Every structure is written in C-alpha cells, then in structure tokens.
C-alpha cells in the first residue's frame, strides 16, 4: 500500500487538442511550487500522482496552483480483491459516520468485474463487517474505488483545487501593480486564466518612500505564491511626474499622468513580449476610472488592456483580496505615486483634444524613454533596505 496525492485536472480536460501542452505546463508549475519538497510526480492524460514525504504540506502548496480541479489524498493498492478489501477496512477504521456508499470507476477494462457489480460486492463486505448502513444519496462516507492500469486507488474525500488554467498557457501579461487593494486582485484573476503575469510599479522617490516600494514587493511576493515566476519591474517616474505637475493644469494632471503610464507600459510590454496590459481599474471607482476617463487614457495604447475587476463592487474586491491574502498588506498606509499631488478637482469627463493640447506643453518623449531605460527588474522578491538602493 502506498499513500499519495491524486490530482484531477481542471477546465483543461475540455481542451482536447491542447491537453498535452496543458498537462506539461501544469506539471512544470507544480514542480516549481514544490521545488523544496522531495517529490515524485507522474502524470497521464487524466490524472497526476504525487508521492512525497510531507503530503499535507504538499497539499497546502497545491491549493495555490491554478489548473487543479481537486486534490485527493488516496491509497494505492494492487488490483486484487483481497487487497482492496483490506484497504477498505483500514480506511473505515479512521472514518467517522454511520452511512456509506461505494463508487467504483473501472478505467481498466481488463479487470473482469463490472463497476456496479464490484460496488455491490464491496458494499456487502462492509455491511457484513461494520456497523454501517448504505445511503446512496447523502452518504457520510463516500468510498471511491478507481481501478486503473497502474493499480487501484481508494479515497473518501476530494478537496477542491482553485481551478483556472495553468499559469503560462496564455503567454505573458504586464500587470500595473500599485500598493492598493484592486490591482493585486486583478493580477490574481489574470493568473487564474493562465496568463503569466509580471508586475510593473511606478515609483516617484523621494515623494514615494522605500516602505511604499516594499509594500508592492510584498504584494508581488504573495502573487508569486500562485505563479512561481512573478517578477516586478520598477519604473523611476519622478522626473516625468514632476514635469506633468509643472506643465499640466491641475484638473488634468491625473489623466495625463495615467496616459504617460499607459504609454510606458505599452512600450515596455512590446519590447519584452507581453501580449496584454492588466490593471485594477474598476468602473466609476474614482475620477480616473469613469468611462470617459478610460476612453481618453486607453486612447494612447493599442495593446489590449484587461481590467479583471472592472465590474466588481469594492466589497467584492475586498472579499477576494482577503481570500487570496493580499488585503492586510494592501491596507498598510503608504503613499502611492497616484496619491501624491492629488488635485482637488480632478476632471471626471476629460476630453481628448484637451489632453492632446496639454501634452504639447512639454517634450515628454525623452522622459518616457528615460523611464523605460532605467526600469529595475526585481526577481528576488524580498524587502529592500536603504543600502540596497544607494
């Protein structure tokens, strides 16, 4: 007898043509997530099996891997009626409950007894040896017996995985990651759809602090628990931002600043093979997120901009932030480059011609190029000290 984790794949089973790619990316992601554990991973078309020493620790990590429908703690025995019976007895000794049901799945058709008949035989064995009753609708102990070529697998509980697609099957996306509540949630949702997400953060030292940057690094690190490949690209935005504040009327400052951010993101994305931009904008949440604002801000780019939380209420976003573990970090009170120099009355319905007119007030092109040239890529997502940045 062997104990192991059996993984049932998520949505990917419907994508027949790509099944092989899906499974191989999923396996690589799992290997990456479990790199500190001593494990053996075997996969086939329908299942993956993980053997290792610390299965409950491994299961905890697997709960953050996208592409898993469920994670099943199971026992493997030889396909032999006596061994199966012994294993059922062993299993039932550990279970609480008064009712049971046997579910047999005979994937290996060389096993001579049909599924229904085998369930009936095992049921009869249990009724004879244990003080339990059959309940086919709501059994307290559902016992699944999967008979496969490689052996027979028995289990009683199936724990849900987090679903989604394996990270990486969709190519790369660049997430505008601020220290707020919304953008980490947006990043999580994009990861869930299989996008290989990396973050881009605009900082304006000395107006924004090292603590603010460390907060974003911490958020990136939490997202990395779902990715394994998360990197953070930090844009030195001070000069360009200061120019905006000198040259643009205050009500349009935020709009122009966001147009500059979008331009930088797009150019950097194209250079580095990111296919989409992702951000945490939510319709109507603030002045820069009205439909009119989105229209004039979006106007400067032609890469798709995905806004996973666009139609979520703030409370729904907070709920998700709590579930994924980013909320406590997001609410730490450090300023963001969007929150410094905030004008009293930002325009709610900006006009494109005015944006273009104000942008003629200064030569922003070289400043944009300078920002891109000096982007810092952080792969080691640990907090920085003042010595690190000197």
Residues that bind Mg ion (CB under 5 A): 178, 180, 336
Interaction between residue 269 and ligand ATP (CB under 6 A): no
State yes or no: cis peptide before 206, omega within 30 of 0.
Answer: yes
Binding flag, residue 338, ligand ATP (CB under 6 A): yes
Q: Is the dihedral of CA 123, 125, 128, 132 positive or negative?
A: negative
Identify the burial level of 344 via C-beta atoms within 10 angstroms of its C-beta, where 0-12 means exposed, 13-18 middle and 19 or more buried. Answer: exposed
User: Exactly one of 104, 183, 227, 293 binds ligand ATP (CB under 6 A); which one?
Assistant: 183
Q: How far is the CB of 363 from ligand ATP (least distance, A)?
A: 23
In this chain, which of 79, 281, 305, 324 binds ligand ATP, going by CB under 6 A?
281
Q: Least distance to ligand ATP from the beta carbon of 283, Å? A: 11
Structure token digits, residue 58: 């491994």
How far apart are the C-alpha atoms of 351 and 296, rounded to whole Å?
Answer: 7
- The piece of 21-29, 136-144, 275-283, 351-359 that touches ligand ATP (CB under 6 A) is 275-283
Helix H, strand E, coil C: the string for 196-256 is EEEEEEEECCCCCCHHHHHHHHHHHHHHHCCCCCCCEEEEECHHHHHHHHHHCCHHHHHHH
Stretch that binds ligand ATP, among 62-70, 71-79, 96-104, 196-204 (CB under 6 A): 196-204
Exactly one of 288, 293, 326, 329 binds ligand ATP (CB under 6 A); that residue is: 288
Nearest distance, CB of residue 87 and Mg ion, angstroms: 54
Residue 248 in contact with residue 206, Cβ under 8 Å?
no
Is there binding between residue 276 and ligand ATP (CB under 6 A)? no
CB of 213 to ligand ATP, least distance (A): 10
Strands 196-203 and 172-176, sheet pairing: parallel
Burial of 185 (0-12, 13-18, 19+ CB in 10 A): buried
H-run or E-run covering 141: strand 141-148
Q: Which two tokens stand for residue 263?
A: 């331009």
User: Does residue 180 touch ligand ATP according to CB under 6 A?
Assistant: yes
The Cα 310–Cα 176 span in angstroms is 14
Nearest to Mg ion of 60, 314 (CB atom): 314
CB of 280 to ligand ATP, least distance (A): 2
Q: Bin 380: left if φ > 0, else alpha if -120 < ψ < 50, else beta.
A: beta
Give the nearer residue to Mg ion in terms of CB position, either 167 or 181: 181
Instruction: Using the minimum distance from each CB to Mg ion, give the nearer residue, 42 or 342.
Output: 342
Contact flag: residue 279 with ligand ATP (CB under 6 A): yes
Q: Is 232 in the site for ligand ATP (CB under 6 A)?
A: no
Chosen from Mg ion, ligand ATP, none, partner binding at 358 (C-beta under 5 to 8 Å by type): none
Q: Which does 337 bind (CB under 5 to 8 A by kind): ligand ATP, Mg ion, none?
A: ligand ATP
Q: List CB contacts of 207: < 8 A, sequence separation 6 or more.
A: 238, 241, 335, 337, 340, 341
Task: Tell which residue, 383, 390, 389, 261, has the closest CA to residue 332.
Answer: 383
Determine, following the binding rule CB under 6 A, whether residue 214 of this chain makes contact with ligand ATP. Answer: no
- Torsion angle defined by CA atoms of residues 202, 207, 211 and 214, in that order, rounded to the nearest 10 degrees: 10
Residue 268 binding partner per list Mg ion, ligand ATP, none, with a CB distance cut-off of 5 to 8 Å that depends on partner kind = none
Site for ligand ATP contains 181 (CB under 6 A): yes
Residue nearest to ligand ATP (CB): 180
Comparing CA positions, the residue from 59, 39, 70, 58 lying closest to residue 144 is: 70
State the minimum distance, in angstroms, from the CB of residue 331 to Mg ion. Answer: 12
Q: Verify binding: residue 201, ligand ATP, rule CB under 6 A.
A: yes
358 binds ligand ATP (CB under 6 A): no
The residue (of 242 and 335) whose beta carbon lies closer to Mg ion is: 335
CA separation for the pair 116, 103 (Å, rounded): 8
182 binds ligand ATP (CB under 6 A): yes
Work out whether 48 is an interface residue with ligand ATP (CB under 6 A).
no
Q: Is 176 in the site for ligand ATP (CB under 6 A)?
A: yes
Nearest to ligand ATP of 6, 186 (CB atom)? 186
Q: How many residues contact ligand ATP, by CB under 6 A?
A: 19
Q: Could you give the CA distance from residue 232 to residue 221 in angstroms, rounded to a whole number?
A: 9
List residues near ligand ATP by CB under 6 A.
Answer: 176-178, 180-183, 200-202, 279-281, 285-286, 288, 336-338
């Amino acid at each position: 007898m062997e104990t192991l984790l059996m993984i049932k794949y998520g949505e990917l089973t419907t994508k027949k043509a790509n099944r092989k790619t899906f499974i191989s990316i999923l396996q690589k992601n799992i290997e990456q997530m479990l790199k500190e554990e001593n494990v053996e991973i075997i996969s086939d078309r329908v299942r993956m099996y993980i053997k290792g020493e610390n299965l409950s620790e491994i299961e905890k990590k697997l709960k953050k891997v996208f592409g898993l429908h469920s994670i099943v703690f199971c026992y493997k025995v030889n396909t032999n009626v006596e061994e199966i019976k012994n294993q059922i007895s062993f299993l039932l000794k550990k279970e609480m409950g008064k009712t049971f049901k046997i579910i047999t799945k005979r994937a290996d058709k060389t096993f001579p007894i049909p599924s229904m008949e085998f369930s009936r035989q095992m049921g009869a064995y249990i009724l004879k040896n244990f003080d339990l009753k059959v309940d086919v609708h709501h059994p307290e102990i559902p016992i699944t017996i999967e008979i496969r070529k490689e052996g027979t697998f028995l289990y009683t509980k199936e724990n849900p995985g987090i679903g989604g697609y394996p990270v990486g099957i969709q190519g790369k996306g660049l997430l505008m990651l601020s220290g707020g509540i919304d953008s980490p949630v947006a990043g999580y949702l994009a990861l869930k759809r299989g996008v290989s997400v990396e973050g881009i953060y605009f900082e304006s030292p000395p107006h924004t602090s090292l603590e603010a940057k460390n907060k974003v690094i911490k958020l990136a690190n939490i997202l990395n628990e779902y990715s394994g490949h998360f990197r953070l690209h930090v844009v030195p935005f001070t000069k360009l931002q200061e120019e905006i504040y000198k040259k643009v009327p205050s009500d349009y400052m935020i709009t122009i600043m966001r147009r500059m951010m979008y331009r930088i993101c797009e150019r950097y994305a194209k250079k580095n093979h990111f296919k989409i931009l992702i951000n945490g904008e939510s319709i109507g949440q603030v002045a820069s997120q009205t439909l009119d604002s989105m229209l004039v801000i979006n106007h400067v780019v032609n890469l798709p901009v995905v806004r996973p939380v666009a139609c979520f209420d703030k409370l729904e976003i907070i709920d998700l932030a709590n579930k994924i573990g980013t909320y406590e970090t997001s609410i730490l009170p450090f300023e963001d480059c969007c929150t410094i120099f905030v004008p009293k009355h930002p325009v709610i319905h900006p006009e494109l011609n005015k944006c273009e007119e104000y942008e003629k007030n200064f030569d922003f092109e070289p400043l944009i190029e300078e920002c891109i040239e000096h982007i810092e890529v952080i792969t080691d997502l640990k907090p920085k000290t003042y010595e690190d940045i000197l």
